[in-house]
Amino acid sequence: MTTTRGLEGVVATTSSISSIVDDVLTYRGYNIDDLAENASFEEVIYLLWNGKLPTKEELNELKSSLSKNAQIPKEIIDQMKSYSIESVNPMAAVRTAVSTLALYDEAADDMSDEANYLKAIKLQAKLPTIVTAFSRIRDGKEPVAPKEELSFAANFLYMLTGEEPEDIAIEAFNKALVLHADHELNASTFTARVCVATLSDMYSGVTAAIGALKGPLHGGANERVMRMLSEIDTVENVEPYLERAFANKEKIMGFGHRVYKQGDPRAKHLREMSRQLTSVTGESKWYEMSTKMEGIVTSEKGLPPNVDFYSASVYHSLGIDHDLFTPIFAVSRVSGWIAHILEQYSNNRLIRPRAEYTGDTHQTYVPIDQR
């Protein structure tokens, strides 16, 4: 037996959803740069789930199904209202709410293709409602119902603030959703696939994936990037902060990647959005601090920024609470999780690797009063 720490370089499945080859990311064969510039998030959902871009009719049908299924059970709202809200991690609240959704879906365990497609729609439609309802409830406000005529990106921002967002915010948020939608066999997607490969249901797969995304080495990094930027606070403080962090062998959040070594192709789009949005808000210091950090970490450690680095100043500029950054990642990535769950069901085999045993051997049981 050979072991590979963290399964680095191990090819664990075939997939036709997204690919990373020579640091180029594609969804179903479409380059992420092309999709980021041109596609709506709804088109990307359709593309990931169906393997092709939608026609106008297909897109309208998807949009209408998403809007019809956006409401969440009142019991989930009541559950959120019952939390002692300051101490609740939003990712834990979202994970719990998604798991609870299964209790209100009579077809949760129906494994037919039709039932699974409807679950996919429900999960994709309800995640934004869950995240925004949680945010409003903890601020002492009532949740806002989605508007049918708004796009997915616009609706999220509308449900969060209660006000229709400006075009620049919708465009930036849509792009961020497109860029985060799928990423080959990342940790949360792998988690979802392992879970459903036991033939467990889609709610279980997505709940498990949310748990994996929450960690700071994965989706949880974006919130921590903003925490770090807030702590640094000025461009002048960047260098001393990094010197100290390097000396203490601390990991710099938002840098490094298991697969990309030359750079994450999503980062440049987020960097540009960060430049534009911070100049609109008059807080370009976040962008300036970020680019200064990028220069130092890249040249001194050879670690380029990943998708989480510039998304932090983008979401901050959109006025979003920092601890909602990772839940927003889930709002987008659920589209990829679902595509992978459907692909796993379509050609399933239990995922069960081996472990190389390194513990004690030949032990003899000793009765408790003799230990």
Ligand X SMILES: CC(=O)SCCNC(=O)CCNC(=O)[C@H](O)C(C)(C)COP(=O)(O)OP(=O)(O)OC[C@H]1O[C@@H](n2cnc3c(N)ncnc32)[C@H](O)[C@@H]1OP(=O)(O)O
Ligand Y SMILES: O=C([O-])CC(=O)C(=O)O
State yes or no: residue 256 binds ligand X (CB under 6 A). yes
Give the CA diameter of the chain: 75
Q: How far, in Å, are 244, 301, 363 from residue 249 at the CA level?
A: 9, 11, 39
State yes or no: residue 217 binds ligand X (CB under 6 A). yes
The DSSP output letter for 18 is E
Does the active-site annotation cover 218?
no
Among 52, 81, 141, 258, binds ligand X (CB under 6 A): 258
Give the footprint of ligand Y on residues 172-191 (CB under 6 A). 183, 186
**Smaller CB distance to ligand X: residue 27 or 255?**
255
Catalytic residue among 105, 308, 316, 340: 308
The residue of the chain with the least Cβ separation from ligand X equals: 256
Catalytic residue among 183, 218, 257, 340: 257
Judge whether 160 and 136 are in contact, CB under 8 Å. yes
State yes or no: residue 258 binds ligand Y (CB under 6 A). yes
State yes or no: residue 6 binds ligand X (CB under 6 A). yes
Q: How far is the CB of 215 from ligand X (least distance, A)?
A: 9
In the list ligand Y, ligand X, none, the entry touching 143 (Cβ below 5 to 8 angstroms by class) is: none
Cβ neighbours of residue 64 closer than 8 Å, sequence gap 6 or more: 148
CA–CA separation, 148 and 4 (whole Å): 49
**Smaller CB distance to ligand X: residue 28 or 214?**
214
Among 42, 182, 201, 308, binds ligand X (CB under 6 A): 308
Give the footprint of ligand X on residues 221-250 (CB under 6 A). 221
Judge whether 136 and 142 are in contact, CB under 8 Å. yes
Per the structure block, which two tokens stand in for 342? Answer: 């459907």
3-class secondary-structure state, position 310: helix
Give the footprint of ligand Y on residues 263-322 (CB under 6 A). 306-307
Cβ neighbours of residue 202 closer than 8 Å, sequence gap 6 or more: 116, 119, 120, 123, 196, 338, 341
Identity of the amino acid at 81 = K
Among 28, 218, 316, 340, binds ligand X (CB under 6 A): 218
CA–CA separation, 121 and 135 (whole Å): 22
* Catalytic machinery residues: 257, 308
- Interface residues toward ligand X, by CB under 6 A: 6, 217-219, 221, 251-258, 301, 303, 306-308
